[in-house]
Structure 1
Amino acid sequence: MQKLQSLIAVDDLRLLAAVEEAGSLTGAARRLHMDHSSAWRRLGQMEERLGVRLFERGRDGYVATSAGEDAVATAARLLQDLADLERRLAGKDIRPTGVVRVTTTDTLVPLLTPVLAEFRQVHPGIVLELAGANAFFTLTKRDADVAIRPAAHAPEGLVARRIGTIGTAIYAACGMMVPDGRLEEADWVAPDDTLGHLRSARWIAANVPAERVVYRANSLLALAAACQAGLGLAALPCFLADGLAGLQRVAGPLAEMETALWLITHPDLRRTARVRAFLGFAAERLAGLRGRLEGSVNGPGDTARPSVPPAR
Structure 2
Amino acid sequence: MQKRTTNQARQPHARNDNARSHLAWNDFEVILAIVTGGSLSGAARALGVSHATIFRRLGDIEQRLGVTLFERSRTGYQPTLAGEELAATARIMDEAALAAERKVAGRDLEPSGEIWVTTTDSLLMGVLAPMFTAFRHRYPGIVLDVAVSNQLFNLTRREADVAIRPSNRPPENLIGRPLTKIGQAVYGHRSLGLNPGAPIQDLASQPWIGAGPRLQDSAVDQWMDNNELKASCVYRVDTLVSIFSAIRSGMGLAVLPCYLADMDPDIVQLTSPIPELEYGLWFLMHPDLRGVVRIHALMDFLTEVVRAKSRRLSGNPLKTK
Query: TM-score with structure 1 length normalisation?
Result: 0.81
1:226 aligns with 2:246: yes
- The equivalent of 2:26 in structure 1 is 9
Residue 300 of structure 1 is matched in structure 2 by: none
Tell me how far apart the structure 2 counterparts of residues 240 and 28 of structure 1 sit (CA, whole Å). Answer: 42
2:176 to 135, 147, 160: 160
User: For the residues of structure 1 that align with 2:241 and 2:139, how far apart are their CA atoms?
Assistant: 31
8 A contact 1:3–1:49 mirrored in 2: no
Cα offset for 1:26?
Answer: 6.5
**1:65-101 Cα distance to aligned partner (Å, 9 max, x none):** 5454334323322111111111122223223222211
What is the CA–CA distance in structure 1 between the aligned matches of 2:140 and 2:204, rounded to whole Å? 51
Q: State the match for 1:114 in structure 2.
A: 130
The DSSP-based 3-state class of the residue aligned with 1:103 is: strand
CA RMSD of the aligned region, Å? 2.9
Report how far residue 288 of structure 1 moved: 2.0
Q: Verify: 1:272 aligned to 2:292, yes or no.
A: yes
> For the structure 1 residues 47 and 238, does the alpha-carbon distance in structure 2 shift closer, same or farther, using more than 3 Å as the test?
same
Write the letter of the residue equivalent to 2:205.
Answer: E
Matches within 5 A, 1:164-179: 164-178=180-194
Find out whether 1:282 has 2:293 as its counterpart.
Answer: no
Alignment match, 1:48: 59
The one-character-per-residue Cα deviations of 1:98-126 (angstroms, maximum 9, x if unpaired) are 22111111211122122222222222222
Indicate the residue corresponding to 1:93 in structure 2.
108
Please, which runs of 5 or more residues in structure 2 have no aligned partner? Answer: 1-18, 63-67
Once residues 212 and 319 of structure 2 are traced to their aligned partners in structure 1, the CA distance between those partners, rounded to angstroms, is 26
Alpha-carbon shift at residue 42 of structure 1 (Å) = 3.6
Query: Which structure 2 residues correspond to residues 49-88 of structure 1 after superposition, within 5 A?
Result: 49-51=60-62, 52=68, 54=70, 56=72, 58=74, 63-64=78-79, 66-88=81-103
Shift of 1:266: 1.9
Q: Is the 8 A contact 2:40 2:55 kept in 1?
A: no
Q: How does 1:193-232 map to 2 (within 5 A)?
A: 193-232=213-252
**Displacement, 1:17?**
4.9
| 1:149 counterpart residue number | 165
Deviates more, 1:175-184 or 1:38-47: 175-184
CA shift in 2, pair 1:127/1:26, >3 Å: farther
Q: What's the % identity of the aligned pairs?
A: 34
8 Å CA contact 1:137, 1:144 repeated in 2: yes
Larger Rg: 2
Mapped contact 2:31–2:58 kept (Cα < 8 A):
no
Structure 1 unaligned regions, length at least 5: 297-305
Aligned residues: 292
SS in 1 for 2:152: coil
Cα distance in 2 between the residues matched to 1:247 and 1:126 = 37
Q: Which AA in structure 2 matches 1:227?
A: I
C-alpha deviation, 1:141, in angstroms: 1.8
Aligned-pair CA distance for 1:200? 2.0
8 Å CA contact 1:168–1:200 kept in 2: the answer is no
What letter is aligned with 1:45?
R
Structure 1 residue 186, shift from structure 2 partner: 1.8
**How far did 1:257 drift?**
0.7
Deviation of residue 259 (structure 1)? 0.2
Aligned to 2:264: 244
What's the secondary structure of 1:283's corresponding residue?
helix
SS at match of 1:128: strand
Residues 91 and 246 from structure 1, CA distance in 2 versus in 1: closer, same or farther, beyond 3 angstroms? Answer: same
Structure 1 248/199 Cα, relative in aligned 2: closer, same or farther at 3 Å? same
Q: Separation in 2 of the partners of 1:176 and 1:245?
A: 14
Residue 199 of structure 1 and its aligned partner are, at CA, apart by: 2.2
The 3 A distance-change label for structure 1 pair 24 and 206 is: farther
Check 1:232–1:127 CA distance in 2 against 1; reply closer, same or farther (3 A cut).
same
Contact 2:43–2:54 (8 Å) recurs in 1: no
Per-residue Cα deviation, 1:255-309 (whole angstroms, up to 9, x for no partner):
111001111122221121111211111211211222332123xxxxxxxxx4278
Answer yes or no: is 1:130 the counterpart of 2:146: yes
Structure 1 counterpart SS, 2:111: coil
For residue 303 of structure 1, what is the aligned residue in structure 2?
none
